[in-house]
Amino acid sequence: MSNAAQPVQMNDREFPMSDHNFSTIAKIAYQYTGIKLPEQKRQMIYSRIARRIRALNLANFDQYCEIISDNKHAEFNEFINSITTNLTSFFRENHHFEYLESTIIPHLKKIHERDRRVRVWSAGCSTGEEPYSIAMTLLKNFSGSSNWDLKILATDLDSNVVATGRNGIYAADRVSGLESALVKKWFAANADSSRYVVADEAKKLIQFNRLNLLDSWPMKHKFDIIFCRNVVIYFDKPTQKKLFDRYAEQLNDGGYLIIGHSESLHKLTDRFESIGKTIYRKLK
């Protein structure tokens, strides 16, 4: 008989997670967020929920599932935060920001020449790197135009990452890949350069709010640009279709929708035209 170490099975873990437990968690996640949790996400879900079980001093997954079955329980937000994946960086998928600078902003300057009002929504803003990247790009290209009314709405399902974005404080490794001139212009380092704070000029453009995209949207105005990158991949096709239709309603005529590199509008909506790599313009 081999003495090689055997892989640890799920039922050998600190808190065994049954098929019923995982099914319950997946069902609740889908019901309230639209996020699909396939079987291949089981290990990730185990790790994240086990942390919450420890934090609450519970005995098992059964007790946790009972708690989150009540969406009014204080733990429910922590549950949502736990299942939400937040992967981002400054100027991630940089071709979007290059297109924003070279094509979209010149177009917005023309169509808003009179009202001088530009609105952008970062839907799924995570810890804030995306809306701050948008703010830096807008300010760079509207420099000397202080009479322009520029505003960015940044929303996410996870209340913790929204708070991080609102604070605008990042560890040194989050800015290490940026050009030194960019860091110097838009960040202030602490004494030992372990933390960097976003400049107030960029912060003032952004309003951070928690928002579940499946709920009603409180915004009364429309946007010129919506960034919704690497968000809809967690939703099934019917939910994606409904979401893209809602984005079209929330955009000004000819407005822009920018999605993630692994996402597509193909066969989901006819309300947009493709004008670049995962960049779309509203048709109707």
pLDDT tens for residues 34-49?
888 889 889 999 999 9
Mean pLDDT score, 64-86: 89
The verdict on whether 200 is a catalytic residue reads no
- Cα angle at 131 between 204 and 264, to 5 degrees? 155
Going by pLDDT thresholds of 50, 70 and 90, the confidence category of residue 72 is confident
Distances (CA, A) of 76 to 82, 148, 158: 10, 41, 11
Task: Output the pLDDT for position 176.
Answer: 87
Mean pLDDT rounded to a whole number for the chain: 91
Which residue pairs from 184-189 have beta carbons closer than 8 angstroms and sit at least 24 positions apart in sequence? 186/132, 186/136
Going by pLDDT thresholds of 50, 70 and 90, the confidence category of residue 144 is low
| Residue whose structure tokens are 């760079």 | 140
- Cα gap 41→53, rounded to integer Å: 18
Q: Which domains does the chain have, with CATH numbers?
A: 10-83 (1.10.155.10), 94-282 (3.40.50.150)
Give the tens place of pLDDT for each residue, 226-254: 999 989 988 999 999 999 999 999 999 99
- Cα gap 144→16, rounded to integer Å: 60
Q: Which of 12, 92, 156, 192 is catalytic?
A: 156
Task: Output the pLDDT for position 145.
Answer: 60
The verdict on whether 115 is a catalytic residue reads no
Q: Which of 42, 48, 166, 210 is catalytic?
A: 48
Query: Which residues have a Cβ under 8 Å from the Cβ of 174 and sit 6 or more positions away?
Result: 89, 90, 129, 196
Please give the sequence-ordered ranges of beta strands (E in DSSP) within the chain, or none if there are none: 117-123, 149-156, 169-171, 187-189, 195-198, 206-210, 223-228, 251-259, 272-276, 279-282
Judged against a pLDDT cut of 50, whether residue 271 lies above it is answered with yes
Q: What is the pTM of this model?
A: 0.84
Going by pLDDT thresholds of 50, 70 and 90, the confidence category of residue 1 is very low
Task: Output the pLDDT for position 6.
Answer: 42
Task: Output the pLDDT for position 233.
Answer: 86
Q: Is 12 exposed, middle or buried (0-12, 13-18, 19+ CB in 10 A)?
A: exposed
> End-to-end alpha-carbon separation of the chain, Å?
68
